[in-house]
Amino acid sequence: MDQRPTVIVEMTFLRPDEGGRVQVPGPPFKDCAPHLVVQDPNVRRAIKKGTMIVENYLAVRLLSGPTEYEAGQAGIFHLELMHAPHVWYDVLQAGATFTVREGSRVIGYGTLIERLGP
């Protein structure tokens, strides 16, 4: 099996009253395979042209993160770039800011700390 690249991010999941998930992903993170959109982390709605979303969604899988985590606080998470090398993840470089998506819903935001892997 080919090893996919991974990234280390500082990420904050929004609280439910901010539009985030009711259930924040916790260890072992099996219930969450979000997408990242590289953009200003203050964006809270999908950018659309008519009814079509015009953002570049990058699928990731949560590999690990804090053992104790509450929505609204920053945490360090390890993410796998799920569709590399078939999808272009080059915009995910150290310092990039992003929003975290479930469908068109913004559920968090963060900053990429380090890119690892092949």
Summarised one tens digit per residue, pLDDT across range 7-21 is: 999 999 898 899 887
pTM (2 decimals)? Answer: 0.88
Question: CATH code at 40?
Answer: 2.40.30.10
> Of 100 and 28, which is predicted with more confidence?
100
In a domain, 1, yes or no: no
In a domain, 79, yes or no: yes
Look at residue 26 and tell me whether its pLDDT is greater than 80. Answer: no
CA distances from 98 to 27, 81, 116 (A): 22, 14, 18
How many folded domains does the chain comprise? 1
Question: For the residues 100-110, what does the mean pLDDT come to?
Answer: 91
In a domain, 17, yes or no: yes
Extract the tokens encoding 34.
Answer: 């979000």
In a domain, 92, yes or no: yes
In a domain, 41, yes or no: yes
In a domain, 77, yes or no: yes
> Of 23 and 48, which is predicted with more confidence?
48
Question: For the residues 64-89, what does the mean pLDDT come to?
Answer: 88
Q: How far, in Å, CA of 54 to CA of 102, rounded?
A: 15
Extract the tokens encoding 94.
Answer: 């150290």
In a domain, 89, yes or no: yes
Q: Residue type for 23, please?
A: Q
Burial class (CB in 10 A: 0-12, 13-18, 19+), 74: middle
Domain that residue 77 falls in? 6-116
